[in-house]
Structure 1
């Protein structure tokens, strides 16, 4: 009798576990096995495009955008945090499927990787300490100590400044601290990221010089011959047409988005026309 009771108890327990598994699946559905996984590299230090919270969760303009693209394109996104200067080589080695981290579309980068259509209009700006009245434009950077991020277009641009003494850093917080400490005279970096940090109280004691040095366009980078690039481009086009892009832009910049070129070729053409004289009047 005891043996029979034990078998019944085991059978009831097994049935209970099975029912529990079925219930869990109904409340927490698994990812569709047909959904393609998109491994996306990003640098979580590029605020407000990428931000890593204390919980480990990623937020930011780029994060919202790639998640929205994935939704309309039928991808599941898996993020991989990488330093900015390692993204191009990682894409070349095809260790990730894409990278989004304020990566400017340039002819040099297009020699080794591919880009989506432009998804963001940006530009480089000069940042100085608040009490610095001597640096006002490109010409006044001559012979000065300039800080830049490794692998960025700011680093490339700084090489064109006559007699400049260039210091390179891995991330924005590092070179801005060097500026505040008086070790460098100016920083050349992304205008939007800098203004966002200043206006949200993350940076005190510095200011952005009025005019942009360049006009640039960001694209989602992929390896050459990526099977995902067409779907990414279609996703961007959908978000631009259905108003989702505008919603994301307003969320992070409190500003209507500018018109974007519909191909990276047009973005390159516009970038090569020279420096922009746009005044930095963003309303973060």
Structure 2
């Protein structure tokens, strides 16, 4: 039995994708208020990690990318309605979502990360936060998670109207730490030398790009570019630019997955292609 891997290049995928994908522009959507992934630019429009990522994908495919900034709540319904060709907003791959949309492989880990005042001793685990005040953005996933952990860990949770306010509570000494998404925390630290990154709570979840069910050819074509961006260091460069963080070994930003889609989720297709930039 021949177990040799097949190298599938970007040009090959373009050739095989057929007339249905022979278009010169893709309309893609993201949330324009989710810094550092997309946020208003001083020069107008939006900028951020995912804005750059979308435009680089367009450049590699030789197509124009019409990046639409809108509310996240309307993005997946807009994809289903055909308003968008695919979604470039950070979207957590979950079992429930994978039943209704087709995901690319993950390109960033989405974890919980604590921020503390600069110079604070290392926090090795959650138990080290016993008796501490933890500031969170009111109503966020981090708020509910921290409160659920309250009795177990023995910390006190204080909620603030924005994550920026929660971070300021740390700076002013009203709270020991703030917990938020790892990329949001990295962005906050990049902007403020008075704080630093601390304990990272790993969720095991990743962000992927959603496509419509049945659009496997388009998904595979875009994913081939994503794999290349992991291999050639572009994804790591975007992380360093927008997050101030070099991706860890084995992280989603630098580790191509076998097959197409995210393993262990609906829509994943296992094949023997080898990720390549050739």
TM-score (norm 1): 0.60
Q: Is 2:127 the partner of 1:127?
A: no
Q: 2:227 maps to which residue?
A: 237
The CA distance in 2 between the partners of 1:143 and 1:86, in whole Å, is: 38
- Offset at 1:144? 6.0
Matched, 1:138 2:129: no
> Are the aligned partners of 2:113 and 2:201 in contact in 1 as well (CA < 8 Å)?
yes
Quick check: 1:145–1:186 contact (8 Å CA) kept in 2? Answer: yes
Corresponding residue for 2:209? 220
2:253 maps to 1:265? no
Q: Secondary structure at the match of 2:64?
A: strand
| Secondary structure, counterpart of 2:55 in structure 1 | helix
Q: By how many angstroms is 1:125 displaced?
A: 0.8
Residues 185 and 143 of structure 1: CA distance in aligned 2, closer, same or farther (over 3 Å): closer
Match for 2:27 among 18, 38, 43?
38
What's 1:110 paired with? 98
Q: Is 1:129–1:180's contact at 8 Å kept on the other side of the alignment?
A: yes
| 1:188 aligned onto 2:179 | yes
Q: How many pairs does the alignment contain?
A: 231
Secondary structure class of the residue paired with 1:187: strand
Higher relative contact order (CA closer than 8 Å, sequence separation 6+): 2
Note closer, same or farther for the CA distance 1:245–1:180 as it changes in structure 2 (3 Å cut). closer
| Displacement of 1:117 | 0.9
Quote the Cα distance in structure 1 between the aligned partners of 2:132 and 2:261.
34
Structure 2: give runs of 5+ residues left out of the alignment. Answer: 1-21, 266-278
1:190–1:243 distance in 2 versus 1, CA, 3 Å:
same
Q: Could you say which residue in structure 2 is the equivalent of 1:5?
A: none
Counterpart Cα distance in 1 of 2:119 and 2:81: 46
How many Å separate the matches in 1 of 2:82 and 2:39?
24
Mapped pair 1:71 → 2:62 = no
Match of 1:80, SS? strand
Shift, 1:115, TM fit: 1.8
Unmatched tracts of structure 1, length 5 or more: 1-32, 269-284
Q: Assess, with a 3 A threshold, how the Cα gap between structure 1 residues 206 and 254 changes in structure 2: closer, same or farther.
A: closer
Task: State the match for 1:55 in structure 2.
Answer: 43
Contact 1:250 1:257 in 2 (8 A): no
CA distance in 2, matches of 1:237, 1:39: 19
Q: How far apart are the structure 2 equivalents of 1:130 and 1:46?
A: 22
Alignment partner, residue 210 of structure 1: 199
Task: Give the aligned CA root-mean-square deviation in angstroms.
Answer: 4.1
2:96 and 2:158 map into 1 onto residues whose CA distance is: 21
Q: 1:249 to 1:178 in 2, by over 3 A?
A: closer
> CA 1:208/1:239 → structure 2, altered by over 3 Å: closer, same or farther?
closer
Using the TM superposition, give the Cα deviation of residue 203 of structure 1 relative to its aligned residue in structure 2, in angstroms.
3.0
2:179 and 2:264 map into 1 onto residues whose CA distance is 21
- Taking structure 1 as reference, are residues 251 and 147 closer, same or farther at Cα in structure 2, changes over 3 Å only? closer
- Range with bigger deviation, 88-97 or 214-223: 88-97
Per the TM alignment, residue 260 of structure 1 is displaced from its structure 2 partner at its CA by 1.9
